[in-house]
Amino acid sequence: MSESPTTHAHEDFALEQRLGTLLRGGVILSAAVTLIGGVLYLAAHGMAPASYHIFAGEPAGLRTVGGVFAGAARGDAASIIQLGVLLLIATPVARVFISVIGFARERDWMYVACSLIVFGLLCFSLIHGG
Amino acid sequence: MHVLTFTLLTLVGALVAGLVGALTGLGGGVVLVPLLTLGLGVDIRYAIGASLVCVIATSSGAAAAFVREGYTNIRVGMFLEIATTVGALIGTVVAVYVSSSTLAVIFGIVLLFSAAQSMRHRVEHIAVTAPGSLGARLRLASTYPHNGELISYGVEHVPAGFAMMFVAGILSALLGIGSGVVKVLAMDRAMHLPYKVSTTTSNFMIGVTAAASAGVYLHRGYIDPALVMPVVLGVLAGATIGARMLARVQVKPLRMFFTVIMVILACEMLFQGLTKRI
């Protein structure tokens, strides 16, 4: 234990608090958006027959980040729910991004690199779709 | 069935799954897919999409508390997330070539394995990082709070842990689960991290792992907003209530009961998959 573990732990502590706040905020925000979209959706389609036993795939507008934002801006209920889902998926992605900044402040370049690799993979998945 | 009736049924089922998942610490994700496919007749691809979204919600919610309390080892988490995200992205590619029946069979096997692990006797490790090892070079050693004091611990067998995390990532994407059981196994059994550090760091990693495949599945049209809405809200509500009840509930009999449920669901998934009913 020669390399100053205490200062490391102290700076990690600050990062831990930030990550905790971010994760909680992301979940609450996305749940609120999903709930609003859900109420609107049930008001409009509550009496329609449910059909989830056959896989048809979602319409194109609900499959991309851009499409979801455009639909939500129009006030489309399904798109608003999907916006809540996107916010939820974005929460861990944002957590990784905050980690990049946190490790950069500690000048811990190895972990900046680790976080950047994970961040890149997540962005690739979300924007490009694998 | 009307959308409204279906939504309410799903909401109640998801609430129970979230509640029991939080109380037993076994995670709700592993019972959500069987609940949706066997109980409500949902196509397994929609069920996997919805379950992945829930896994992100519950893991992020719980991680928020654990990270602040100082149990989570964010360096171990960050490093191993390279393996789980790469595994998850490969899992989404594999998923294209696997039939629904095969998925049900794999799911059944993983459920049985999870049930067996939940009954396992726990051994607490305090490892010492060998000088010059990968764990030392990656500065993975840290401390965690225990009975009011900070305990130092080291890390062993990093490559083995990394390989197991890769498998955890593939399974997570393929089945729409958090793969917490495999993640804890990698850190607790292979890398010899303290148990509490293993479970909280696993939980911390689950959100990122699930987000990697959820992005791909969103593009593939697996994520149906009308199905996801009651599932995610139900699971979140259940997990929140569960976390509050935790101090006042006898966890052991509940865990036993939940394990039995997992075995029953596993047999049903295996049966349905092997007879090509799913």
Q: What residues does each domain of chain B span?
A: 3-274
**What is residue A2's predicted lDDT score, i.e. its pLDDT?**
38
Q: Can you give the pLDDT at residue A1?
A: 37
The answer to whether residues A117 and B145 touch, using CB atoms and an 8 Å cutoff, is no
What does the pLDDT read at residue B20?
85
| Angle of CA points B209, A77, B176, to nearest 5° | 20
> pTM score, two decimals?
0.92
| Distance in Å, alpha carbon of B63 to nearest chain A alpha carbon | 7
The answer, for A50 touching chain B at a CB cutoff of 8 Å, is yes
Block means of pLDDT (10 residues each) for chain A, 130 residues, are: 48 82 94 97 91 86 93 95 96 94 93 96 88
Alpha helix locations (H) across chain B?
Answer: 3-24, 29-34, 40, 44-69, 74-97, 100-118, 134-137, 158-175, 180-184, 195-220, 225-245, 251-274
B:142-171 residues touching chain A, CB 8 A cutoff: 142-143, 152
- d(Cα A19, Cα B71) in Å, to the nearest integer? 13
Q: Which amino acid belongs to residue A60? A: A
Please state whether A107 falls in left (phi above 0), alpha (psi between -120 and 50) or beta.
Answer: left
Please indicate whether, in this complex, the C-beta atoms of B74 and A12 are within 8 angstroms of each other. yes
Q: Is the Cβ of A112 closer than 8 Å to some Cβ of chain B?
A: no
Closest residue to B223, CB basis, from A15, A50, A58 = A58
Q: Which two tokens mark B74? A: 């964010």
Q: What is the ipTM of this complex?
A: 0.91
Burial A93-126 (b: 16+ CB within 10 A, else e): bbbbbbbbebbeebebeebbebbbbbbebbebbb
- The phi-psi region of residue B176 (left if phi > 0; otherwise alpha if psi is between -120 and 50; otherwise beta) is left
* A 76-95 residues inside an 8 A Cβ radius of B: 78-79, 81-82, 84-86, 88-89, 91-93, 95
Which of A89, A103, A127 should be substituted to probe chain B, the one whose Cβ sees the most B Cβ atoms within 10 Å?
A: A89
B51, B74, B277, best to mutate vs chain A, most A CBs in 10 Å: B74
**Shortest alpha-carbon distance between residue B143 and chain A (Å):** 8
Q: Which residues of chain B have pLDDT under 70?
A: none
Would you tell me the crossing angle of helices B225-245 and A77-105 to the nearest 10 degrees? 60
- Inter-chain residue contact B85 with A111, CB threshold 8 Å: no
> Smallest Cβ distance to A85: which of B64, B228, B236?
B228
If you ran DSSP here, which 8-state letter would residue B145 be given?
E
- Under a CB-based contact definition with an 8 Å cutoff, are residues B58 and B28 in contact? yes
Tell me, yes or no, if B132 comes closer than 8 A to chain A by beta carbon: no
Window 7-36 of B: residues touching A by CB (8 A cutoff) are 7
In chain A, what residues touch B72 (CB-CB under 8 Å)? Answer: 16
Residues 6+ away with beta carbon under 8 Å from A43: A77
Yes or no, beta carbons of B41 and A20 under 8 Å apart: no
- Residue B97: predicted pLDDT: 95
- The Cα–Cα gap between A34 and B45 comes to 21
C-alpha pair distances (Å), B138 with each of A102, B12, B142, B158, B161: 17, 45, 11, 10, 14
Please tell me whether residue B150 adopts helix, strand or coil conformation: strand
Position A52, amino acid: Y
A2 near B CB under 8 A: no
Cα distances (angstroms) measured from residue B182 to each of B9, B195, B203: 31, 13, 11
CA distance B166 to B243: 30
Instruction: Name the residue among B171, B170, B148, B168 with its Cα closest to residue B160.
Output: B168
